[in-house]
Amino acid sequence: LVGNSHVLMPGFTKRLLRSLRTGGRSHRSIKLRVVAKIGTTLMKTTKKNATRKAMDEAVWDVIVLQESTTAFMTKHGRRSFMLAVDWFKRHKPSGSKLLLWQAWPQGPSHALYHRRGVWGRWFKNPPRGPDELFSWIASGVKRAADQHGTLISPIGHCWMRLPSGKRPYAGDDYHPSGRGMTFIAEVLASSIIASVGGQDANVGRAKGTCP
């Protein structure tokens, strides 16, 4: 797992391993490595020694790339995301597959949409709401997947299929609650298992199932 605070959430990797073991229905051992830092981007992660060391360690079945939601809100962020995916494609071990984490948007009460606090200083033209932001995220991830022939874990798609009042956000209306972490882990695990099984993506390049 390569990313930021979303893969560092306390208890998330435990939930993911449980979902992988349950969904895989095998006794195959699972090795999981996390290279992440709160608030970072994939482009910054490509420059970390820990990233290069982890990729040199083994031929990973799947390398999951989790980009910051905010990367899809600016031209610079979108370009950096594309360059980062290209870097991972060129440097990944032969035989490893890339899987793009499709993020979910901040909830409707989040300061981003109201240009409050640091969010107002960072983003002068923020999205009008979660639906618009998710459309930016989905199109950005799909563009990278199409260009580099990678698969997408449809985490954001599954999240947005839930009724708006039932989406399991934590108190910051951004990160997931404990129930949300389980939901995300189940989607991601289904995508990893499908990728390892050699299944092809559909026309949207997404592979995985919603809980």
Residue type, 78: R
Roughly how many angstroms between the first and final C-alpha of the chain, as a whole number? 21
pLDDT value, residue 63: 96
Task: Let me know if 105 is exposed, middle or buried by CB neighbors in 10 A (0-12, 13-18, 19+).
Answer: buried
Average pLDDT, the chain: 92
174 and 107 in contact (C-beta within 8 Å)? Answer: yes
Please give the Cα distance from 162 to 167 (Å, whole number).
6
pLDDT value, residue 26: 65
pLDDT tens, position by position, 19-39: 999 887 666 789 999 999 999
**What contacts 154, CB < 8 A, 6 or more positions away?**
102, 187, 191, 206, 207, 208, 210
DSSP annotation string for 77-142: HHHHHHHHHHHHHHHSPTT-EEEEE---PPPTTSGGGGT-HHHHHH-SS--SSHHHHHHHHHHHHH
pLDDT value, residue 48: 94
Residue written as token pair 């449809």: 154
Residue 67, classed as helix, strand or coil, is: coil
pLDDT value, residue 138: 96
Residue written as token pair 């985490």: 155
**Residuewise pLDDT in 10s, the chain (211 residues):** 999 999 999 999 999 999 999 887 666 789 999 999 999 999 999 999 999 999 998 889 999 999 999 899 999 999 999 999 999 999 999 999 999 999 999 999 999 999 888 887 888 788 999 999 999 999 999 999 999 999 999 999 999 999 999 999 999 999 999 999 999 999 999 999 998 876 555 546 788 999 9
199 and 32 in contact (C-beta within 8 Å)? Answer: no
